[in-house]
Amino acid sequence: MTKTLNLTLKVWRQKGPDSGGRLETYNAENISTDMSFLEMIDVINEELTITGKEPIAFDHDCREGICGMCGAVVSGRPHGPEKGTTLCQLHMRHFSDGDTIVIEPWRSRAFKIIKDLVVDRGALDKIIQAGGYVSVNTGGAPDSNAIPIPQDTAEKAMDAAACIGCGACVAACPNASAMLFTSAKISQLALLPQGRPEAARRAIAMVRIMDELGFGNCSNERECEAECPKEISIVNIARMNREFFKASFLSEVK
């Protein structure tokens, strides 16, 4: 038999980036424990719409924990209380009847609030544009087995590439640092031979634009690693620092 919950929600409401915001209280009644967190918000929005009130704006797309679109701070935890779980994959069975849940957007100078829980994460795209790619000649696709890569190296690159760019690391960090995100994008290419020709240029360009966009620096608090829904390791930050320092001192790229 499906259980239901009665919850109190305190949701951040803000009309736009230049407007003041506030927490508004909603009663969520008879919420099925089989629902995902976003489905619960859908139910609240249906009730708000029926009563002529404006629904809560929030980001979502695939709802399968892949796209990185969803994300909110749930009672102080980015993506909620479950480790290695995106907000869309968080189920209401992880909450208790009578709970009060506070829902807020990501907080960072680089993430401007668009409306309610929706933030502009375009800053992460700009970091990628600065160097998170490998330049290749046009033509036919290269043979995937043309360059042998050790399994251990390939697995490390794939672990870094698992980053979905949701921004939870930024929201979790007391300095609003994007170093876990940036280091994952640098690592996934730096580990592979295809990424080595542009490694120096990539490290300098991506770190430079990260700083220019207003993200903070890493102070090894490790909240980013703890809250990352894909459990990206801060080992990648150490690798990024090595790549950056090596490029700064040994490369002609400035």
Burial, 145: exposed, middle or buried (Cβ in 10 Å; 0-12, 13-18, 19+)?
exposed
CA distance 64 to 11: 23
| pTM for the model | 0.93
Please give the helix or strand (H or E) that residue 204 lies within, else none.
helix 199-212
Backbone φ and ψ of 101, nearest 5°: -115, 125
Query: What pLDDT sits at residue 144?
Result: 72
Q: What is the pLDDT of residues 152-165, one digit of tens each?
A: 999 999 999 999 99
Query: What pLDDT sits at residue 88?
Result: 97
Strand partners, 120: 112
Give the contacts of 23 (CB within 8 A, at least 6 positions apart): 10, 11, 12, 13, 102, 104
Tokens representing residue 157 in the block: 């690159």
Which positions of the chain have pLDDT values less than 70? 1, 251-254
Tokens representing residue 200 in the block: 């120096």
CA distance 230 to 234: 12
Q: What is the pLDDT of residues 109-119, one digit of tens each?
A: 999 999 999 99
Query: What pLDDT sits at residue 252?
Result: 62
DSSP 8-class letter at 103: E
Which contacts of 16-23 are long-range, i.e. CB under 8 A and separated by 24 or more positions? Answer: 16/113, 16/114, 16/115, 17/112, 17/113, 17/114, 17/120, 21/113, 23/102, 23/104
Superfamily of domain 4-104: Beta-grasp domain (3.10.20.30)
Query: What pLDDT sits at residue 159?
Result: 97
Q: Would you say 13 and 56 are in contact if contact means Cβ atoms under 8 Å apart?
A: yes
Residue with tokens 């993200």: 215
Tokens representing residue 81 in the block: 């209380």
DSSP 8-class letter at 107: -
Residue 236, SS3? helix
Superfamily of domain 121-136+146-250: Alpha-helical ferredoxin (1.10.1060.10)
Using the Cα atoms of residue 213, residue 241, residue 146 and residue 151 in order, give the sign of their dihedral. negative
Q: Would you say 102 and 209 are in contact if contact means Cβ atoms under 8 Å apart?
A: no
3-state helix, strand, coil in the chain (%, to 5): 40, 20, 45
Tokens representing residue 247 in the block: 């490029």
Query: What pLDDT sits at residue 140?
Result: 83
Query: What pLDDT sits at residue 249?
Result: 86
Domain segments of the chain: what residues?
4-104, 121-136+146-250
Closest listed residue to residue 173, CA positions, set 117, 215, 231: 215
